[in-house]
Structure 1
Amino acid sequence: MGSAVDVRLAAGPKEDWFLRSVFNPGARLGTRPDDPATSVRVVEVTEVTRLRIPSGRLIVDSPWPEDGDRELRTPVGRELAERITPGTFRVEAAWTEAPYEFMGEHFDGREVAAVRLCITDDPVTGWEMALGIDDDVEMIRPGDRIGFNSEANEGSFADAAAWPALTAPFREFWRGLRDGLQQPTLRATESLSDGRFERARDEARGADLVTFAAEGSCIIWLGRTETGSIASIVAVAYGYHSFSGGPSA
C-alpha cells in the first residue's frame, strides 16, 4: 500500500477474510449460530441506490434521536475523520441466506450482512477501521473495535453538512408518536428494497441519507487501494465478525 496502516486500526485475519468475502456471491461466511449444519452464504449483491455527498464529509451513524431525548434534537452523528471526493456513489448491499424451519414453516433466512459505499472500483488491498473526528487513535489498543451503537437498530450513510435536514424526518416521526398522532408511521423518506432501506433527500444542498439495518454495535471499515486511496467504505454489524467461517471454512 502507499501508506502504512496503523496496527491498531488494521483488520485482523478473520475480519480481513470476511470483508473480502462478503461481497462475493457464492461465498460461505460460516454457519447459523443455532444450527452448525446450515451454511450462511452470500447469494446476491445489489445496488440499493446512489448517494450524493457534495461536502465530501461523511456521517455513518443512526439517524434517530438519542434515546430519552424529549426535546428530539438533531443527533450528533459520528462523522468520519477521513474525507472523500465530493460526488455521487453507489450504495450496495450483500445479501445472505441461511434456511431454517420454525413451527413447521420454512424460511430462507435472507438478511443483509454488510453495506458499502463504493467510492471507486479500484481493487482493495487492505482494510482499516474508520475513525470518527472525535476519536483519539492513541486511546485505541490493538484489537479494540469502535464504531456506533444504534438503539433503533438502524444506521445510515449521510452527507455531514446536510445532517440536520436529512435526519429531520426521523425526529418528526418520534414527535408524532410523542404527540399522539393517529398515523405517525409515514415519514418523508423513500422506501427502498421492500422497506429494508430508506432514503432522505435535501434538495437544497443536493445531499442524501440512506439507512441500513444495524443491530447493536456497527464497525465501519475503509477499504484502501495499493496507493492508499479509499475505494470502499463498509458498515458491518459487530456480530457478523463472530461467524464460524474463516479462510479455511
Structure 2
Amino acid sequence: MQEAPIDYDERFAVGKAADGERSSIERTWLSLPTGRIVATDPLGYDDPPAPFVQVVPPGRYRVDLLVTGRRIAAARLVIRDEPAASWERALPEGILYGSDAEVAGYDVNAGAGCFTDEQTFQQLSEDPGLDWQLTLLEDLAWMRDGPTVIPRSEVDGCPGDEGDENVLVAFPSGEGGGTYRTWVGRTGRGEITCFVTDFLLRDE
C-alpha cells in the first residue's frame, strides 16, 4: 500500500472551501458490464488503454466530480460508500509494482478524462466513424464543469429508452493536459471503496 497525496474522502466532502471558493459535487452513474475499469483521455489516445488490475464486480456505480472554481479537480468512481482506510495506485495491466508504478497514469492531450469499462471502450474504439468522440467533444465544450455520458444504446447501436444506462462518463481534466494518476481506496477489510483520478487542483 502507498500513501495517497491527500485525504480524498475529506476533499470530496461537499462544501469544502478551496482558494476562497466553494467546492461542489456533480454526480452521475456508470454501468460496468465486466468490472474491468478503464480511466483514460477518451479523445486523445493512440491505442486503447489496458484496464486496471484492480477489478470490481459488474454493476452500476456512482461517479462524483469535485468541482472547484468551475474546474474538475478530481473524479471518483464509488464502489462502496465507505471511508478508505488505505490507498494504492490503480495500475493498468502490464505494469508491475516498482519504478514504473510510481509514474503510472494516463496522458491527457485533449483536455478530458473518463471512466468506463474495458468492454465498452473496446467497442467504441472499433467504431470506424468515431462519431461518439465528436459528440463527446461538443458536449464537453458546453458542460465544462459537469459530466458527459455515453449511454449503452450508442454503443450497441440500438434506440435508447428511459432506463438506458451510462457506459462511459467523461469530464474536463482540471486545467487541461498532463499526466494524471488514479488511486484506489480500500477498507480495513481490503475491499475496494473507490477509484479517484486526481487532476492536481489543490486547495492549499
Q: TM-score, normalised by structure 1?
A: 0.65
1:46 paired to 2:18: no
| Equivalent residue in structure 1 for 2:135, among 184, 187, 193 | 187
Compared CA separation, residues 54 and 24, structure 1 to 2 (3 A)? same
Q: Give 5+ residue unaligned stretches, structure 1.
A: 30-38, 68-74, 98-109, 175-185
> Secondary structure, in 3 states, of the residue corresponding to 1:16?
coil
1:22 aligns with 2:14: no
Partner of 1:211: 170
Partner AA of 2:35 in structure 1: G
The alpha carbon displacement at 1:153 in A equals: 1.6
How many angstroms apart in 2 are the aligned matches of 1:164 and 1:92? 24
SS in 2 for 1:226: coil
Structure 1 contact 43–95 (Cα < 8 Å) conserved: yes
Post-superposition offset of 1:212: 1.5
Tell me if 1:199 matches 2:159.
Answer: no
Q: Deviation at 1:16?
A: 2.7
User: Among 164, 176, 189, which residue is 1:227 paired with?
Assistant: 189
- 1:198 and 1:61 mapped to 2: Cα distance? 14
Aligned pairs, number: 189
Report the 3-state secondary structure (helix = DSSP H, G, I; strand = E; otherwise coil) of the residue aligned with 1:77: coil
> What is the aligned partner in structure 2 of residue 70 from structure 1?
none
- Give the alignment of 1:90-129 within 5 angstroms: 90-97=62-69, 110-129=70-89
Rounded to whole Å, the distance in 2 between the matches of 1:85 and 1:170 is: 31
> Which of 162, 165, 178 pairs up with 2:123?
165
- Residue 131 of structure 1 is matched in structure 2 by 91
Superposed displacement of residue 112, structure 1: 1.6
Residue type of the partner of 2:82?
D
2:105 equivalent to 1:147: yes
Stretches of structure 2 lacking an aligned partner (at least 5 in a row): 158-164
Q: Does the 8 Å CA contact 1:42/1:94 hold for their aligned counterparts?
A: no
Name 1:11's counterpart in structure 2.
3
RMSD (CA atoms):
3.0
Amino acid at match of 1:55: T
How far off is 1:139 after superposition? 3.3
Distance in 2 (alpha carbons) for counterparts of 1:76 and 1:50: 22
CA displacement at 1:57 relative to structure 2: 0.7
CA drift of 1:146 comes to 1.8
Aligned pair in 2 of structure 1 residues 224, 62: CA closer, same or farther (>3 Å)?
same
Deviation at 1:244, TM superposition (A): 6.6
Whether the 8 Å contact between 2:136 and 2:148 is mirrored in structure 1 is no
Q: Which amino acid aligns with 2:80?
A: T
1:132-164 deviation line (CA, Å, top 9, x unaligned):
1021213347xx332100111211111101213
Given the superposition, is the C-alpha separation of residues 193 and 63 from structure 1 closer, same or farther in structure 2, using an over 3 Å criterion? closer
- On the 8 A contact 2:48/2:122 being kept in 1, the answer is no
